[in-house]
A and B are shown apart, each in its own frame.
Chain A
């Protein structure tokens, strides 16, 4: 057990260790020397004004930036002690272990059942698929609303339900870390509240890194908060410290709403 800047890491090591990460899109630098440690089974929020690089940073954690031809990532990102960007690492395998929920609900144009079953199927799951679909939907607090219509199109669900379906879909491949990119920003307050409750329950089993635009949301759901500004990590620490007693003036200015 060790504690640095108020970040407490269990004896089995952190979920994610980020050291001096830079990201360039062509000649433009989007992330500048970011280092942070994500403890296991905690919720870490990335906050900051639009364009500060928080989504870019999140997408480094499951090598989603590999899909952007102009993106270049350097520095060290270790997941359970393994370098995610080592030459022998297959990004496909990384994305299976580190799941991602996106800003806008993006279900496949298929049935509710097929949406959840897609991930396990493509990863060669052998076992009781029905059971896995049910477990995943229960974990995402959606089962009770859809159990009698699993064959219906996912597009028939409301936005909030679709986003919970996307979370169920992510959980179905049993990731060890879940990345969420502003998962509630396209939803109404009630759907948002459901997602937040869900995140609170999920951290029993999962480590979650969430990008959010909404500072109240970060304060409500996260254990640790990282404040990014213009591609740099300004401050990282326990959420209540960041919101009530930040070390940096810019952090205070942002969390009190003086800019952003």
Chain B
């Protein structure tokens, strides 16, 4: 008999089996995690090996060219930044207002339930469908043409459901006791929302918004529909300019026959990934900064 025997239950075989089950489950979960981490790692390493040689300041600041050694990403990067900023300006206020309305103002009747269900459904609609809508509504219907604005409006429609849902969750996470306290002091609904609920929900709303925006930056299909083009010689000058974006530029380069274009496509991917990773980093910083304060 070993020293720990007094701890063991009467059925030693049963005890061994349940411990084994626990170990197998933990192992399976760990393996599932590894699949994600490893594939991301392989992707990153592969892209960096292919692209790092072409990635320099000249590449970032050069205009596109027929010659791979002269081609740069400036126009696509500027297009992506334009799209990013315009999309944020359009989608953020609309989504936050919608979320506030649904959480703080709307009666919980069947109308708001229907709206709620539809927002959740919209978040799952394929992006190409939004592209077709954007083409019909913004490019043709409103006559905005194949412009940065049309692209940003289309992407705003695409990510608004995601931001609304994230904002609703952040607003719902504000404890009801805080609302009661404010109402109990004679605050109006507007004062409760603007002075207590929104400041507390803001980190969560911003995190959701940034993650949704990074999805928008990576989108290609809907922008092809609204007429972003693969080869443009100049950066956008305003919201009505024609434009291209990073993923589209990368796609164009990859589809060229020359091998040299594959290398600069990889360099373009690195730029896109850096943009996305820095946006996610901002989201993480925002969340940590605000959550440690309260």
Residues 164-218 of B at the A interface (beta carbon under 8 Å): 175, 177-188, 191, 195-196, 200
Residues 68-124 of A at the B interface (beta carbon under 8 Å): 69, 92-93, 95-97, 99-100, 102, 104, 106-109, 118-119, 122-123
Complex Cα–Cα for A188 and B185 (A): 26
Residues 73-132 of B at the A interface (beta carbon under 8 Å): 107-108
A31 to chain B, nearest CB (A): 19
- Report yes or no: B200 in contact with A96, Cβ–Cβ below 8 A: no
A1 lies within 8 A of chain B by Cβ: no
- Report yes or no: B185 in contact with A95, Cβ–Cβ below 8 A: yes
Chain B residue at smallest Cβ distance from A119? B185
Complex Cα–Cα for A97 and B185 (A): 8
Chain A residue at smallest Cβ distance from B109? A69
Among A166-174, A207-215, A240-248, which stretch is in contact with chain B?
A: A166-174
Contact partners of A64 in chain B: CB under 8 A: 180, 183-184
Point out the residue from B177, B186, B293 that lies within 8 Å of A102, measured CB to CB.
Answer: B177
- Report yes or no: A69 in contact with B185, Cβ–Cβ below 8 A: no
Complex Cα–Cα for A69 and B179 (A): 15
A190 lies within 8 A of chain B by Cβ: no
Complex Cα–Cα for A100 and B191 (A): 18
Complex Cα–Cα for A242 and B177 (A): 33
- Report yes or no: B186 in contact with A123, Cβ–Cβ below 8 A: yes
- Report yes or no: B195 in contact with A118, Cβ–Cβ below 8 A: yes
B233 to chain A, nearest CB (A): 52
Contact partners of A109 in chain B: CB under 8 A: 178, 200, 293-294
Chain B residue at smallest Cβ distance from A179? B184
- Report yes or no: A92 in contact with B177, Cβ–Cβ below 8 A: no
A96 with B180: in contact, given A106-B175, A155-B294 (CB under 8 Å)? no
Chain A residue at smallest Cβ distance from B196? A108
Point out the residue from A104, A118, A153, A155 that lies within 8 Å of B185, measured CB to CB.
Answer: A118
Point out the residue from A62, A93, A96, A106 that lies within 8 Å of B181, measured CB to CB.
Answer: A106
- Report yes or no: A92 in contact with B186, Cβ–Cβ below 8 A: yes
- Report yes or no: A106 in contact with B180, Cβ–Cβ below 8 A: yes
- Report yes or no: B186 in contact with A93, Cβ–Cβ below 8 A: yes
- Report yes or no: B200 in contact with A62, Cβ–Cβ below 8 A: no
Complex Cα–Cα for A155 and B200 (A): 14
A222 to chain B, nearest CB (A): 21
Chain A residue at smallest Cβ distance from B107? A69
Chain B residue at smallest Cβ distance from A154? B294
Given contacts A108-B178, A109-B294, 9 further A-B contacts (CB under 8 A): A62-B184, A69-B107, A97-B186, A106-B178, A119-B185, A123-B185, A153-B294, A169-B181, A173-B186
